[in-house]
Structure 1
Amino acid sequence: MKLSFVKNTLILTLLVCFSCGSKSQNQNTKNQSEGLFLKDETIPAMTEASIVLGADRFQEYLPLLANKKVGIVANQTSVVNNTHLVDVLLDLKVSITKVFAPEHGFRGTADAGELIKDGIDTKTGLPIISLYGKNKKPSLQQLQGIDVIIFDIQDVGARFYTYISTLHYVMEACAEANIPVIVFDRPNPNGHYIDGPILEPEHSSFVGMHPIPVVHGMTIGEYAKMINGEGWLQNKVLCDLSVISMENYNHQIPYSLPIKPSPNLPNDTAINLYPSLCFFEGTFVSAGRGTELQFQIFGAPSLDAKLYPFSFTPKANEGSKYPKFKDEKCYGMDLQNVEKLHQINLDWLIDTYASSHEKETFFIPFFTKLAGTEKLQKQIEAGQTSQEIRKSWAADLQAYNQMRQPYLLYK
């Protein structure tokens, strides 16, 4: 649906009336968290339906865009009431000059790791600049003529989900070019806990740039504030940052994403399991790419069918043109009906390694990048239990929790 009104004042009035957040979906959740944090019963009860997203709060950010040439970092999740943010802003007569696209592209259909090329958006005619591949950081030339950058992308709260790395590079480039950045905040569907090993600097990469746990427990706006506040940008430059915060949100509200954040996270279950199952991407085991149950199943042809009777056969699809074990029958587990996780599940990984007949080739080097440390692989190889491994994270998670407190916008 394309918005079309005669006067901007009428547009603003109607859109603000519509800004009630995304539609709710029923979810089975526990009454308390099993992660580092227990649910705070003093927080007033709020629901997903009452959330007002940052992108919906026109009265807060339209004055910041007046008479400015605007660049926007966006993908398929950058919507206002089912209409793409770019289309909404163009109808509001905002002067958008360029779109910057992250991993998976502007429309969100590219494979993980697939080269994203520069191009032209066929709907609007706007130039699209890829921020994935060799060009992860906008150049001064690409930023030329832009007065302000909007960043509006749905995150899922995991360190190895690369949108927060794109956020880092956008903030860094804009700081160097003296261009303000405005982040439109959105909920973190895994924002109810923090968990996992802290990334060690020597293992920094695009799938993990900062010394944070695997599950960081922050919204994209809070995370931007932490990048700035902790001096993580190159040469400790500071970005002129504004966050358009949400209304009626807290970290304990279950949030169902109305749009897939990427091709291989098709639903709430996949998003919740992603921080746990993504570790399999650093092993010979498939996490379900090439099926319709991505990050809801795992398996491999060589796993024991008696121990892992569930089977699937990966095929090329929109989310994975060349999936692991394409056209091969894999044996593993179906996790579609597991209860919602409030901490990372390591048992699936540990048990699969223990039962594997290919221990020497079970892990690949990418596992260390995902874990952010060599310790996790060594702990699993040494036969440590999930409880023993989790205990080794405790002190670092407490320290991280203290570090993040000044940047939280929501409880």
Structure 2
Amino acid sequence: MFRLVLFYCIVVFGCSTKQDQAQSQLSTGADQLNEYLPLLEGRNVGLTVNHSSQVSNIHLTDTLLARGINIQKVFTPEHGFTGTASDGSLVTYDSSHISFELISLYGKNKKPTTAQLEGLDVMVFDIQDVGTRFYTYISTMHYVLEACAENNISVIVLDRPNPNGSYVDGPVLDTAFSSFVGIAPIPIVHGMTIGELAKMFSGEGWLEGSVTPDLKVIAMQNWNHSTPYSLPIKPSPNLPNDLSISLYPSLCLFEGTIMSVGRGTDHAFQQIGHPEYPEAKHGFTPTSREGAKWPPHEDLMCYGVSWIGEKPEYRFTLEPLIEAYQKMDQVEFFNDYFKRLAGTDQLQKQIESGMTEKEIRETWKDDLDRFKEIRSKYLIYD
């Protein structure tokens, strides 16, 4: 029997006593084996998973194989099965030595093809998300739901906590700027779990052709949107701890600028910098490494701002972005990627015009209120 080998070390984040207690009681969707095993027995099963797909520290694939489930194909998102591939790196596999076909959804295609889905009766989706629109795992889920609906394959989503799930914030995507880092008209911080999002993608007719998959969400137990949650395994190579995850919604926008967010260091998404950043005491040098091949400003000393060692604060802010823009070369500061990350062309214009964060927030308030009304229809947890 094929046994998965973990190619990474489990990173245990610092947790408060309250977090420890909450997490000891939490039971993820994947933990609810009695709820979904009967739906898989005697069927040809596909999985969409990565390194985060764990059941009591055992990978979901091993868990199901040990129970005699007929796994035919395993699909993986950006960063690959082990979660170590660099962002944007295409992933391919040779699965000739294992008992099922391993298929990348971050290679030749991001949406499963009819040929890749052939022979499947049911697809299980189990991947840890971090609660932002531009984190591509939810875009993979969108395409999986769409493709399975088109090919009459039922979908089971095993729900997991959203570490940024306690709030909703940021501009709502203008669909003119849809992309793989913005697959649906939701704000930057959506405040939903993957199970709740799956219901929304389907229920709002956001899948191509308004197709509706045969969808079942296996809900968590003992979790709600205010429950603190420290991820036991880093969800992608450059989100190593709670602090980086809490800062990610705000700092990811810098990837659409000339700045570095610390990729290629031990503190990605906990610092920002540039070789010409003025009046800065903090510095770091990005280097090429696993999970961060060819980072921006590779091998150059960058100067800027650090949050390293600070206590995580789960909020979205434009303050660092506005401050950096005001200090740097404003003509070259933004690149074309920024509009896709922001999900609109307005945010760049607003910053360039000198608007304050408070003034900018007022412009997306109505859209955010409308999203919250839609969101309320699909919430599974308080």
Work out whether the TM-score is over 0.5: yes
Uncovered stretches (5+) of structure 2, i.e. residues with no partner: 4-10
**Paired amino acid for 1:365:** D
Cα distance in 1 between the residues matched to 2:260 and 2:13 = 31
Aligned to 1:318: 290
Q: Deviations over 1:44-96 (max 9, x none)?
A: xx822211110010110011011011000000000111111001100011110
- Cα pair 2:76 2:103 within 8 Å, conserved: yes
1:395 paired to 2:374 = no
RMSD over aligned Cα atoms:
1.8
Cα distance in 1 between the residues matched to 2:107 and 2:351 = 32
1:221 paired to 2:178 = no
Q: How far apart are 1:209 and its partner, in Å?
A: 1.2
**Paired amino acid for 1:117:** T
Query: Equivalent of 1:190, from 155, 164, 170?
Result: 164
1:26 paired to 2:1 = no
Residues 184-193 or 390-399, more deviating: 390-399
- The change in CA–CA distance for 1:277 and 1:28 in structure 2 (over 3 A counts) is farther
Aligned to 2:353: 382
Aligned to 1:237: 211
SS in 2 for 1:61: helix
**Paired amino acid for 1:173:** A
- Cα pair 1:74 1:101 within 8 Å, conserved: yes
Aligned to 2:8: none
Aligned to 2:102: 128
1:330 paired to 2:302 = yes
Query: Equivalent of 2:312, from 335, 340, 365?
Result: 340
SS in 2 for 1:274: helix
1:355 paired to 2:330 = no
SS in 1 for 2:244: helix
**Paired amino acid for 1:152:** D
Q: How far apart are 1:134 and its partner, in Å?
A: 3.4
1:71 paired to 2:46 = yes
Q: Deviations over 1:107-141 (max 9, x none)?
A: 1110000011133186x443211101331111111
Q: How far apart are 1:386 and its partner, in Å?
A: 1.1
Query: Equivalent of 1:297, from 271, 279, 297?
Result: 271
Q: How far apart are 1:28 and its partner, in Å?
A: 10
Cα distance in 1 between the residues matched to 2:38 and 2:14 = 34
Residues 337-346 or 143-152, more deviating: 337-346
1:142 paired to 2:131 = no
Q: How far apart are 1:385 and its partner, in Å?
A: 1.1
SS in 2 for 1:402: helix
**Paired amino acid for 2:356:** T
1:257 paired to 2:231 = yes
**Paired amino acid for 1:398:** D
1:88 paired to 2:59 = no
**Paired amino acid for 2:381:** Y
1:269 paired to 2:249 = no
SS in 2 for 1:155: coil
- Cα pair 1:310 1:332 within 8 Å, conserved: yes
1:406 paired to 2:381 = no
TM-score normalised per structure 1: 0.88
SS in 1 for 2:80: coil
Cα distance in 2 between the residues matched to 1:135 and 1:119 = 16
Residues 244-253 or 340-349, more deviating: 340-349
**Paired amino acid for 2:339:** T
Aligned to 1:161: 135
**Paired amino acid for 1:348:** P
- The change in CA–CA distance for 1:196 and 1:373 in structure 2 (over 3 A counts) is same
Aligned to 1:33: none
- The change in CA–CA distance for 1:112 and 1:28 in structure 2 (over 3 A counts) is farther
Aligned to 1:12: none
**Paired amino acid for 2:199:** K
Aligned to 1:58: 33
SS in 1 for 2:259: coil
> 1:173-184 maps to which residues of 2 (within 5 A)?
173-184=147-158
Q: Deviations over 1:245-272 (max 9, x none)?
A: 0001100011111111110111111111
1:200 paired to 2:174 = yes
Cα distance in 1 between the residues matched to 2:347 and 2:16 = 31
- Cα pair 2:238 2:269 within 8 Å, conserved: yes
Q: How far apart are 1:343 and its partner, in Å?
A: 2.3
1:102 paired to 2:74 = no
SS in 1 for 2:213: coil
1:212 paired to 2:186 = yes
**Paired amino acid for 1:403:** I
- Cα pair 1:119 1:129 within 8 Å, conserved: no
Aligned to 1:9: none
Q: How far apart are 1:409 and its partner, in Å?
A: 0.3
1:285 paired to 2:275 = no
SS in 1 for 2:187: coil
SS in 1 for 2:42: coil
Aligned to 2:7: none
Cα distance in 1 between the residues matched to 2:286 and 2:12 = 32
